Homo-oligomer: A and B are copies of this chain.
Amino acid sequence: MTRPFAGLADWGTTSFRLWLVGEDGTVLGERRGGEGMATAAGEPGGFAGVLGRHLSALDAPADLPVVACGMVGAKQGWVEAPYVETPADPDTLAAGAVRVPGADRPVFILPGVCQRAEGRFDVMRGEETQILGLQASSRQGESGELVCLPGTHSKWVMLEEGRLSGFATFVTGDLFAAIAGHTILRHSMTPGDERFDVPAFGRAVRTAFEHPAEFSSWLFAIRAGGLLSPDDAPHAASTLSGLLIGLELAGAATRFGGLDGHTVRLVASGPLAERYRAAFTTLGLDAIEADGEAAVRRGLLAAAGKILT
């Protein structure tokens, strides 16, 4: 096999992904596992052990350098890589990398990004690498490009002139679970119901987008609707999802000066991509979909190029 240039690791809270790459980014080998930041310290040999075993399984040279991003660099991770502040760019990220002391090979952990401007405190770890990896394929207009990464804590990020200039986190998925499981709406949910009712979802997206201030009242309407018009009750989960995603889009629109004037790049896959696609369509907005895995690999490779050469 071609001698690899580096190992690139996307090391999150609950997942681990590793690629061996050549200097031009060619993928020479790949591994994935569940030993995320939350459990890696408890594995044999801790973080070093997890990384070592995955590298061995790929027959990586013993001295191969590794560059990692994500929650592995949090305070509870392997070694803390303090946040760099917005605006951040590939150079800032590479300069903020922390080398793991005492590791038996060079291991660098990229920092997360924080925002303090105007009291809009926010943090991310991992998404910044993904987002800056999108830049190569970016079509930034004059007003910048918005990137949407949906999830438990959805991130909306503004890219301007190759820099991550600002961002906002929306706790959409986290709220869904808390509301569906721990408020009166739990009585409206059908356990195990994974159906995605597109019309109910679309109506809810539009409602929350147009009336975001009344969000908490529309939540109760799900419960009341179930009592007054039980035939609609099976759509409670789709409606809740639509209200939360509609609220997120309304928030991103006001935070970043409207969604119409921007190219929005949607980084998602599977059912989550389907929902956000449906939400954008409902509101008549355009979004370009992007592959998050390719993006994080490109971002890690760019950082590795700066750190290792």
* Chain A residues proximal to chain B, CB less than 8 Å: 83, 114-116, 119-123, 153, 168-172, 174-175, 177-179, 181-185, 211-217, 219-221, 224-225, 227-229, 244, 247-248, 250-251, 253-255
Complex-state Cα separation, A216 to B248, whole angstroms? 7
Q: What number of copies of this chain does the assembly contain?
A: 2
Cβ-defined partner of A183 (8 Å) among B121, B123, B171, B214: B171
- Beta-carbon contact of A250 and B121 below 8 Å: no
Closest CB in chain B relative to A55 CB, distance in Å = 31
Between A and B, 28 residue pairs with Cβ closer than 8 Å are A83-B228, A114-B227, A121-B221, A121-B227, A122-B224, A123-B228, A153-B184, A169-B217, A170-B216, A170-B220, A171-B184, A172-B216, A174-B183, A174-B184, A175-B183, A175-B216, A177-B182, A178-B179, A182-B182, A212-B212, A212-B215, A213-B213, A213-B247, A213-B250, A213-B254, A215-B251, A216-B247, A216-B248
CA separation between A169 and B217, bound complex, in Å?
A: 5
- Which one of A183, A185, A225, A254 has the highest number of Cβ atoms from chain B below 10 Å of its Cβ? A183
Known: A114-B224, A224-B122, A225-B121. A251 touches B153 (CB 8 A): no
Known contacts A122-B224, A221-B121; is-contact A213 B171 (Cβ 8 Å): no
Give A77 to B83 CA distance when docked, in angstroms.
55
Among A116, A181, A217, the most chain B Cβ lie within 10 Å of the Cβ of A217
Pick the contact of A214 from B175, B214, B255 — CB < 8 Å?
B255
- Pairwise interchain contact B220-A122, C-beta atoms closer than 8 A: yes
Measured CA separation A214–B251 after assembly (Å): 4
**A177: nearest chain-B partner, CB-CB:** B182
Q: Are A228 and B116 in contact (CB under 8 A)?
A: yes
A119-B221, A177-B183 given; 19 more Cβ-contact pairs under 8 Å: A83-B228, A114-B224, A116-B228, A121-B224, A121-B228, A121-B229, A122-B224, A123-B224, A153-B184, A168-B217, A170-B220, A171-B184, A171-B220, A172-B216, A174-B184, A178-B179, A213-B247, A215-B247, A217-B251
Q: Which residues of B contact A220 (CB under 8 A)?
A: 122, 153, 169-171
